[in-house]
A and B are shown apart, each in its own frame.
Chain A
Amino acid sequence: MPKTIQEINEKIKKKSAVVLTAEEMTVLVRKEGKKSAADKVDVVTTGTFGPMCSSGMYINIGHSKPKIKIGGGTCTLNDVPAYAGWAAVDVYLGCTQVPESDPLNKVYPGAFKYGGGHVIEDFVGGKDIRLKASAYGTDCYPRKKLETLINIRDVNEAVLFNPRNVYQNYNVAVNLSDKVIYTYMGILKPGVGNANYCSAAGLSPLLNDPLYKTIGIGTRIFLGGGTGYVSWQGTQHNPSVKRKENGVPQAPAGTLALTGDLKQMKPEWLRGTSMIGYGTTLTVGVGIPIPILNEEIAGFTAIADEDIYAQIVDYSEAYPQAKPGPALGEVNYAQLRSGQITVQGREVPTASLSSYSKAQEIAEILKEWISKGEFLLTDFVAPLPGPDDGVVFKPVNERPID
């Protein structure tokens, strides 16, 4: 019998909701079928913990005496430049920003040891951060310089604001060239020496709701160890990607923009990350609950590693040169997790960028929160663009300026 989110929330308040992780749901649906599972189960929890490059935080530090207008001026946090193009004391720090003194790839491959993502991890962890700001001064904001330690306990707002997280599926990266390459998918050995992938696959939020039937704008989620919300589609949201019969995209598809109060998050779930030869980023922990409203949704949450396929892409030339054309092949995540796949007739070792054990932990934590009545589900206020809405991720149309 179909359920509503209100009905499920009533059960959650009474601590009588039946909550399973996506892994447990797969087992149940395989044993008893979609219909029985849909009757028995109220919520399925999902999780993922991987590098998510469009992440950052904004903070309001409060006014100084006399007042300073950092907006329009400059600001660094632990020497990492922050964006100061907003109001007087609002600044945004992105996770891929590095200090001006960082040697980048001048001595190749660069280590990129400390950047915005690491500042965010330190800040969430309660460490003092060095803020240095300069301003051009106005009548109402006469101060031109501010250097102070700031702490998450003292600032007004501290908000995690991520324009793109939780990619729905991703590529399998290999290197066809004869030299080692350093990419956002890790170190890739020459001659297809290894293959790296990045997805929680069977536990992944968007792969358990592949057509965005329950996840939308306003969905309440586990974010960085605390509570957050889906605020918009993520950048590069690409719902029109080719899908298998089960609705699961076989290439990178949907994305989500996520937001939440940084003050109730934990550094364990927001980790500063360094990719050698590439840059810094933030590894983010996200868990999304899926209300089991009907049989169809129950079926989707039974999707497992072996049902999800990814494209093998060459990152030495095809990817960087944006060459069109088919991938080198496709594999499913059960094959990838076995530790070896076959590419061009050779056995190639595989490795993941996304931590499956952490994804399991997140799904378990969210399950506990819901079972204890501490977390209610939300109905989305607006849906995400779906496969038939005409949204496509396009390349830039380069046009000369003069």
Chain B
Amino acid sequence: MLKLPHGLVNQPVVYKLAKDYRLEFNILKAYITPKEEGLLILEITGNKDDCDKGIEYLITCGVDVQLVSHEIKRIEEKCTHCGLCVGLCPTGALYVNIKSRKVDFIGEKCTACGMCVKACPVQAMEGNF
């Protein structure tokens, strides 16, 4: 998840990731907040060295870079494993484990859309999105 400060919103920062650092990027979510800051959720593919350098470049530009899997969290003690979130999760990050019949959560697949946070009847999902 990239948070672009006000001054950077008009600059083609993401294009540089592909041109200078040979990274493939897939934009999962993008919007500009009322304060004219940018919020992007990108899936970046490339070799590890290029990825590290590309992220370093973003940070030196003033972009706040965070792994999306850290944005949405499940409060394990609250979850009742009902499964209501599963029907709304667009990426399958939340799914019913056929053996245990419980709901498993793969943070790496989460794109922080926030549907589970809204839908969870016992408020077991929390996060920023």
Contacts and interface: CB of A to CB of B under 8 A. Distances in A.
Interface of A: 49-51, 113, 186-187, 189, 194-196, 271-276, 283, 337, 339, 349-358, 360
Nearest first, the 3 closest Cβ-Cβ pairs linking A and B are: A351-B87, A357-B101, A352-B83
Contacts of B86: 339, 349, 351
Given A49-B80, A271-B80, A351-B83, 17 more contacts: A187-B115, A196-B84, A271-B122, A274-B121, A283-B121, A337-B96, A339-B96, A350-B87, A351-B88, A352-B82, A352-B84, A353-B83, A355-B81, A356-B83, A356-B101, A357-B101, A358-B82
B30 interface: no
B102 interface: yes
25 contacts: A49-B82, A50-B82, A113-B123, A186-B84, A187-B88, A272-B122, A274-B122, A275-B121, A276-B118, A276-B119, A283-B82, A283-B121, A349-B86, A351-B84, A351-B86, A352-B82, A352-B83, A353-B82, A353-B84, A353-B121, A354-B82, A357-B100, A357-B102, A358-B81, A358-B82
Contact of B119 (A187, A272, A349): A187
Nearest to B123: A274
Interface residues of B, number: 20
Contact of A196 (B80, B81, B87, B100): B87
A355 B119 contact: no
A351 B80 CA distance: 14
Contacts of A351: 83-88
Contacts of B84: 186, 196, 351-353
A194 B115 CA distance: 13
A73 B102 CA distance: 46
B96 to A, nearest CB: 7
Contacts of B82: 49-50, 283, 352-355, 358
Nearest to A276: B118
A353 B100 CA distance: 17
Contacts of B102: 357
Interface of B: 80-88, 95-96, 100-102, 115, 118-119, 121-123
A358 B83 contact: no
Contacts of A272: 122
A19 to B, nearest CB: 21
A196 B119 CA distance: 12
Nearest to B82: A355
Contacts of A352: 82-84
Contacts of A353: 82-84, 121
A283 B81 contact: no
Contacts of B115: 187
Contacts of A273: 121-122
B81 A194 contact: no
Contact of A349 (B80, B87, B101, B121): B87
Nearest to B77: A268
B94 to A, nearest CB: 10
Contacts of B118: 187, 276
A113 B100 CA distance: 29
Nearest to A354: B82
Contacts of B87: 186, 194-196, 349-351
Contacts of A187: 88, 115, 118-119
Contacts of B101: 356-357, 360
A194 B88 contact: yes
Contacts of A337: 96
Nearest to B118: A276
A355 B85 contact: no
